[in-house]
Every structure is written in structure tokens, then in C-alpha cells.
Amino acid sequence: MCGIAGTYRWPDGKIVTDRLTDTLAHRGPDGSGRYGHPVGDGEVQLGHRRLSIIDLSETGAQPMAKDGLVLTYNGELYNAPELRAELESAGVRFRGTSDTEVLLEAWRRWGTDCLPRLRGMFAFGIFDERTGELVLVRDQLGIKPLFVLRRGEGLMFASELKALAGAAGGKLEVDHAALVASLLYYWVPDSRCAFREAEKLPPGSWLRCRPDGRVERGRFWNLKDVAAEGQERARAGERPDLAAVVEESTRQHLLSDVPVATFLSGGLDSSWLTALAARHQPGISAYTIGFRAEDARFEAMPDDLRYARQVAERFGVDLHEIEIAPNVLDLLPQMTYHLDEPIGDPAAINTFLICQAAREAGVKVMLSGMGADELFAGYRKHLANLLALRYQRVPRPLRRGLSAAVDRLPVATSRRGLRSVRFAKRFLSFADLPEETAFRRSYTMYDQDDLLALIDPDLAGTVDDVVTEHADIYQDNELDDFVNRMCLADARMFLPGLNLAYTDRSSMAASTEVRVPYVDVEVVKAAFTVPGDRKIAGRQGKAVLKEAATSILPREIVYRPKGLFSAPLRAWMSRDLAPLVREVVNDGELVRSGFLRRDALKRMVAEDAAGQQDFSKHLWHVLTLEYWYRDATSGSGQSTRQTA
């Protein structure tokens, strides 16, 4: 895992590329390199920061130049041994054992046709000295990031947006439409970027720069097509062996020349991966988190540690427990810097602290259960949207009466939060709505009217655009299965936009690689071969995955209540962060600029403090957005509050 950067026909490309690469030092503390070559009336410059995982010798160093091809690459190819064997049988001679060299030779032999054959996570730039062409590529599911900025005929790229912002030669203009989208979702969707000039290369796509200034784009993998093919395979009677598919993916994701550990929350996804990993690497280490007792009580959080300990003992895992009692006033700006864009999910803090602890223990690679909920309908929102269809059959007068009664209930007392009331209020906020609108409302932060009341009235048209974009993506499918439509939307939006994004940035901030065996092309193909009624059976989400996991896990773990990889936000807001919330509401940059309306924020704070509504997540995101906005408008592209 590494940080990559470069320029193509960009003024002062060498200096700019060095600046880009230096900003990415945390992604690759084990080494750095740069390559340059003339292109027409300009030059190409490729930079690299190395985190050594496979082939720790200099034969794996980058940028890797070999017989006219030059590669700067971030990622891991889990089928590199198979590709290597095929290439060797065709006469290719390898200098070392890295997957970097396998990728370079696969490109030489097959060009863009090699891309659908790659199984892993990757973002890379590859330059052909003969043609003068630079091609940028991002993996099928958007696990690894790649940001691009174009000016005239020049281009720069990097693994992180902050690198582009710091090297672009002047303040980049904030895209207020992206900020509106971040308020809706609490992250910036992959289709948008927080700065106007920059963009994210879409998952499963490539971009080719030619010396004459032409830029071409192509797509080598489309999740919509994979889902449609899966539906047809299901109709033909195909039933994938999920236990075998997940075990094979986990085995491949253990490929490493350095120690590998796992995240272990005690929930199904991480427990299954940990058990499978322990089968192939006995005594593997795992990391789990707990919270201050008073925070957990206030938040009414489940006791995940008990289950994690049970899994560790059963499978001989070396469990490391970390209590999260962070100084959030220090961590908030630090995480805002590392996350690149305004992301309001506090789980990013958990990921960072776990990876930091693992790195201090000498671990560079972690396996995560990320992705199983999205692909196999494991979130509460999936079941809730199905239940909403039944709720809509209840007579309207009864629904109105129930809604009025629940609206009067508090979401917290002075001593603890009331999770069941929070869930009920959330459910009733979307249960009467049409399918796409209900699904959007079930996981986004505001309905359209609330969002309009919060922001500058001049941005009303932007709100319409953002909401329409969600509808367009959700409805762009060929599926007749409601549950799989939700899973497809999550895999296209929620997964790359939020979960994979914060996982990459948080882990790399601690110079640690996180691998996601559920977010694997073969697992994804199998997931969309499973009909929705086997994903949610009765009131059981991820039913088919749970059934498969019982081959190795005890039923107590498989069918336990769903855990939370989150943070005690209400406790933090009522204690640690209350003064900061008041400061941002009364005199923050977003309020002073007119982007956010002070009166709407004050109402939100008052209702949250009174325990009538739960706005802790909303206010946390306002804080992350405020800190990000301060840095973005300072002109430096860097945070004055970042720490090592």
C-alpha cells in the first residue's frame, strides 16, 4: 500500500510532483521515488511513497521502470501469483517477487484488457516512453482513491485530495454543491469533489493522456452490469457457495511478506473473517475497541467486547483491546485533515486509533469486515425499508396517531439515551415515502425541506440537483428485486463514498494498510446472485451470509444483535464538544460566510439538548465541515492543526 502522485505536461512538474509526494509521506514511510521523462513540449513526472508489504527488497521499489514502461502503483493484487505464472509461461522474465512487476508486465502484454482480470485493490499511473501516453486507473469497486486535477493541457494526480490542494499553485475553489451533498449524506459522494477543479476517477475506469493534449476515458467494469448478470444467474438456478467464496477471498487477502492482523468487533462479519484468517494463519492478532463505561451507558451501546473475547478464545487469536476515550477536541481537526473531504462518520476515529495501535505493535496490514452489510443487506435501513412497505398498509389514521405519539417521546434522559425511541423516530421519518425517496431518507441526514432551511437560500437549486442525482443513480438498474436494488445503490454510493473512503484515509494516516475481503470482485459477483428474500429472511438481515458462517462460527456470534462500529456521539456532544458546538453555531466560518443559517443551527442544538430529537450526528458533521472549510479557505491546502 502506498501513495502515488504525478504530473503530465504541468509547469514545473518536477517541483510539483515532489510537493505532492511529500504530502503523502504518511502513506509510505518505507521509501520514496520519482521518475521524469520528456513528453512533447513538456514532461511527465511520477512520484511514489512506499509502504513495503510484498517484496521488501529494492526490486519492489517504485516508480518501477522496465523496458520502456514506468509504473507508480498503490494497492495489492491478490491474484498476482496466478497472473505471474501465466506470464512466465509466455516467456516473461521477472526481476523480483512484487505484484508491482506483475501488474507492469500484465499491462505490457494485454494493455487495458488486463484490467478486468485484476483481483485486488488498486490505483495506478502507467507511462509508456514509446508513445508518451500516461494512463490512470482505479479498481473495480473504488477501494483505492485517485484524485485528478486538469488545467489546460496539464494534469496532476494523487492518492489524496490534500496533496492536489497543496500543490496546485494557489487556493482551489470550494465546490458548494459538494458541501451541500455532504450535509445530506454526511460524506461527499464519489461522483463529486470538494474542490471545483478536482475530480475522483470513477471506480472501474481509466483515463488516458496523450502528448497531443487529447484525453480519453474508458470503463472496464460496471457494477450495474454485474448486478444484472447476477440476477440472470439466479433465475437460471445458480446458488453460489458463499462459505467457499468468502474463505477463498480471505485466504487471498492474507498474501503478505509482513504480519497481518484483523479488526474484530465481535459481530458476524469481522468474526467470520478472523476465524477464517486464524484457520490459515494460526495465532493471528486481532484488535477490538471499547468505550468509557459512562459513555457506553449514556449511548446504550451493546457490549461488543464480550463477543470479541469469545471469538478470540475459540480460535486462538491474540486479542488486543483498545479503550477509546479520546481527546476529541484534538482528534477532530486531525481527522478532518486526514479525511481529505468533510466526512461526518466518527467511525473514522475508531479506525485510526486501532490502526495506530496495530502499527505501534509492528503490524502493517489489517483485514476488515467492511462491505458485507452493503452487499448482503445487513444494515437496519434495509430491513426498515422492507418493513415500511408493510407499514404503509396500516390505515392512515392509525399511522398519523402513532407518528404523533412517537414525536412527543424524548430520545434521551439526563442519564442515558433511548435507542428504541431514536430508531422509531427515524423509521417514521421515511416509512410513508415512495421507494427511492424512502431509501434515501433512511440513511441521509435531512429531508429536502430541512436541508433547504439550513443553508443559504441561493443554493436551493443545488439541493434539487443533489437529490435528483441520488434518484438517478438509484433508479439506474435492471433489477426487479427491492433488496438487491438497495444493495446495488449502497455498493455504488455508500460504500465508495463513505466507508471505503474513511477506511483508506484513516488507516493510511497511521501508515497501515486495510484490506477488505468482502469487497472483492468474486464476492460481489456471488452477492448479486443471491435473491433479496435470501438476504433478508423474516426480520433477519444478511440471512444467507449467516447461514454460511455457521459452518465455522457458533450461533451465539452469528445471530447476536447487530453491533455498532461507531462512537458515543451523544455523550461527546453533551460533554467534551458542547463548547465547540456553541462556538461554531455562533461564530463559525460557515455561518459567517452565509453557507449555513445560524437560526436553523440554534434550533437544532436546542432540540438536541432538550432530548426531544437526536441531532448528535448532524452536529458532529457540522463540526467536521467547519474544520474542513477553515482549512480549505485558508489557501494553504494544509491543516494548521495536523499532528503526526
Find out whether 332 and 627 touch, Cβ atoms under 8 Å.
Answer: yes
> Is 53 annotated to bind ligand?
no
| Listed residue (642, 641, 338, 352) closest to 510, CA to CA | 352
Distance CA 76, CA 72 (A): 13
Judged by DSSP in three states, 514 sits in strand
Strand 365-367 relative to strand 215-219: parallel, antiparallel, unpaired?
Answer: unpaired
> Is 368 annotated to bind ligand?
yes
Judged by DSSP in three states, 326 sits in coil
> Is 289 annotated to bind ligand?
yes
Find out whether 626 and 588 touch, Cβ atoms under 8 Å.
Answer: yes
> Is 40 annotated to bind ligand?
no
Distance CA 248, CA 107 (A): 25
Burial 577-590 (b: 16+ CB within 10 A, else e): beebbeebbeebbb
| Listed residue (513, 631, 506) closest to 256, CA to CA | 513
One-letter identity of residue 426: R
Residue ranges of alpha helices (H) inside 408-459 are 419-428, 435-443, 448-454
487 catalytic? Reply is no
Query: Per the structure block, which three cell numbers stand in for 211?
Result: 502528448
Q: Which helix (H) or strand (E) holds 275?
A: helix 268-280
Which string of DSSP letters, residue by residue, matches 132-188?
TEEEEEE-TT--S--EEEEETTEEEEESSHHHHHHHSSSPPPB-HHHHHHHHHHSS-
Location of C-alpha cell 392512515 = 396
Distance CA 534, CA 542 (A): 8
Task: Tell me the C-alpha to C-alpha distance, in Å, between residue 81 and each of 107, 109, 256.
Answer: 15, 16, 12
3-state secondary structure string across 13-40: HHHHHHHHHHHCHHHCECEEEEEEEEEC
Distance CA 221, CA 116 (A): 7
Which residues are bridge partners to 198 per DSSP?
149
Judged by DSSP in three states, 528 sits in coil
Of 2, 114, 355, 487, which one is the catalytic site residue? 2
Find out whether 255 and 299 touch, Cβ atoms under 8 Å.
Answer: no
The residues, any chain, with a CB within 8 Å of residue 427's CB and separated by 6 or more, are 384, 387, 388
Report the sign of the C-alpha dihedral through residues 150, 153, 154, 159, in that order.
positive
| Listed residue (535, 528, 564) closest to 383, CA to CA | 535
Report the sign of the C-alpha dihedral through residues 216, 222, 228, 229, in that order.
positive
Strand 365-367 relative to strand 260-263: parallel, antiparallel, unpaired?
Answer: parallel
Which residues are bridge partners to 286 per DSSP?
262, 319
Which string of DSSP letters, residue by residue, matches 61-87?
-SSEEETTEEEEEEEEETTHHHHHHHH
Detail the residues annotated as belonging to a binding site for ATP. 289, 368-369
Annotated binding-site members: 99, 289, 368-369
Binding-site entries for L-glutamine = 99
Active site residue ranges:
2
